[in-house]
């Protein structure tokens, strides 16, 4: 933790590459929209759990934890299963990034911020998912000071922090219908700065992915990386429907400056190959939806070796010294999310 920053701001929203004490997975089950492809998505979750367990403590949320424990036998060691924390809770879905705690670090320990999750602007049922953080807190998972912010809608996938007081977000999401109307952009910014103890917000006004239910979460488009770097999705195919918007996004990213007034180092990630569901709807495949964890970056792959490897090399450039680990996320995009959407990290304190 940056002790000097803590002394000046008291609370800090750490960057994702800060050391982590745990990562949350909210496990899929037959009573969710995953039911038609439950076997395929379960294999994906087992892959994520295996890679995460090798590096960080696992917290698994499920209405049927003993069933999940049995699924993981043979994939995690007996010791690994003993060290995994299971929290029993009914769930609507599995997107831990958006219903999980947003954690600040402060001199007196972690502060666990519980915001309202309303199914990305009331698009999907979310009542049970919106209670998960309270159920975790009741069970002392994880340790920290619970803060109730349920009067404000905020999804973890909609914000990025550089750990130094700058938040990156998109106006499309935070100003989207059924989030926090009738608050204006200025009022939302003031609330975020106050609640997240941030110094400034960079608003990205362009960029989207077809098939995205989140109204352009930042974690599908552009991500903070160490050393004043932003990795972002670049589209070079003028025939692609995303071309114009992503070019405008790229141009806006070039105008952004660090707190010290310097341009960011920009690392383009390739546009994932177009993928479609059985009805012909394009799915929001993106290489920006990676998870940084202890010693590694877990990145989504989509069965396209050339593009997957290109994305891996770009992330290796953004995160030197970390293992870059690919996980096949083709099952996840069928429900319009990917790897980062499924996970929520908890930063280590001291």
Percent of the chain residues past pLDDT 70, beyond the cut: 97
How do residues 91-104 score in pLDDT, each as one tens digit? 999 999 999 999 99
How do residues 60-110 score in pLDDT, each as one tens digit? 999 999 999 999 998 988 888 888 999 999 999 999 999 999 999 999 999
How do residues 125-138 score in pLDDT, each as one tens digit? 999 999 999 999 99
pLDDT of residue 5: 42
Do the beta carbons of residue 58 and residue 25 sit within 8 Å? Answer: yes
pLDDT of residue 271: 98
How many CB atoms are located within 10 Å of the residue 154 CB?
25
Question: The pTM is what?
Answer: 0.95
pLDDT interval class at 262 (50, 70, 90): very high
Q: To the nearest 10°, report the CA torsion of 73, 79, 84, 90.
A: 30
Which tokens in the block code for residue 312?
């891996």
Do the beta carbons of residue 247 and residue 260 sit within 8 Å? Answer: no
| CA-closest candidate to residue 297, choices 254, 345, 264, 250 | 345
- Domain 3-347 fold: 3.75.10
Q: Which helix (H) or strand (E) holds 121?
A: helix 119-122
pLDDT of residue 9: 56
């Amino acid at each position: 933790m940056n002790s000097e920053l803590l002394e000046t701001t008291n609370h800090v929203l750490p960057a994702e590459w800060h050391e982590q004490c745990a990562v949350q997975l909210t496990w899929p089950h037959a009573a969710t929209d995953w039911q038609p492809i439950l076997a395929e998505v379960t294999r994906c979750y087992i892959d994520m759990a295996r890679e995460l367990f090798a590096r960080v403590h696992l917290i698994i949320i499920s209405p049927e934890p003993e069933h999940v424990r049995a699924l993981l036998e043979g994939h995690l060691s007996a010791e690994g299963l003993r060290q995994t924390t299971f929290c029993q809770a009914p769930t609507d879905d599995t997107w831990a990034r958006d219903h999980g705690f947003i954690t600040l670090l402060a001199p007196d320990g972690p502060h666990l911020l519980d915001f309202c999750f309303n199914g990305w602007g009331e698009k999907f049922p979310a009542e049970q998912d919106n209670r998960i953080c309270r159920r975790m807190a009741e069970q002392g998972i994880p340790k920290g000071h619970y803060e109730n912010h349920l009067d404000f809608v905020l999804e973890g996938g909609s914000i990025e922090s550089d750990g130094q007081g700058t938040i990156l977000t998109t106006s499309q999401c935070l100003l989207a219908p059924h989030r926090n109307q009738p608050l204006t952009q200025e009022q939302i910014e003031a609330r975020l700065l106050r609640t997240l103890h941030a110094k400034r917000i960079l608003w990205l006004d362009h960029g989207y992915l077809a098939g995205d239910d989140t109204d352009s979460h930042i974690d599908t488009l552009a991500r903070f990386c160490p050393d004043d770097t932003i990795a972002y999705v670049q589209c070079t195919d003028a025939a692609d429907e995303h071309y114009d918007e992503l070019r405008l996004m790229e141009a806006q990213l070039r105008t952004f400056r660090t707190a010290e007034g310097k341009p960011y180092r920009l690392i383009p990630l390739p546009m994932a190959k177009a993928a479609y569901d059985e009805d012909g709807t394009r799915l929001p495949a993106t290489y920006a939806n990676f998870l940084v964890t202890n010693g590694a970056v877990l990145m989504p792959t989509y069965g396209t070796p050339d593009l997957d490897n290109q994305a891996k090399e770009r992330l290796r450039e953004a995160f030197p010294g970390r293992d870059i680990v690919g996980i096949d996320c083709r099952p996840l995009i069928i429900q319009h999310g990917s790897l980062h959407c499924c996970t929520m990290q908890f930063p280590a304190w001291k």
